[in-house]
Amino acid sequence: MMNVSGQNISITKGDTGQFTITFSGDDAPENGCIILVSLKKTKTSEVPIWEKRLTVTNNVITVTITSADSNIDFGQYWWDARIIFRDGTIYTPMNPASFKVLEVVGNVE
The kind and range of the H/E element at 40 are: strand 34-40
Instruction: Give residue 61's pLDDT.
Output: 97
Instruction: Give residue 109's pLDDT.
Output: 62
Instruction: Give residue 58's pLDDT.
Output: 94
In terms of Cα–Cα distance, which of 92, 21, 94, 89 is closest to 58? Answer: 21
Mean pLDDT by 10 residues, the chain (109 residues): 96 96 90 97 96 96 97 97 95 96 79
Q: Whole-angstrom Cα distance, residue 70 to residue 65?
A: 7
Q: Which residues pair with 15 in a beta bridge?
A: none
Instruction: Give residue 108's pLDDT.
Output: 64
Q: How many residues does the chain have?
A: 109
What does CATH list as the number for 2-102?
2.60.40.10
For the entire predicted model, the pTM comes to 0.91
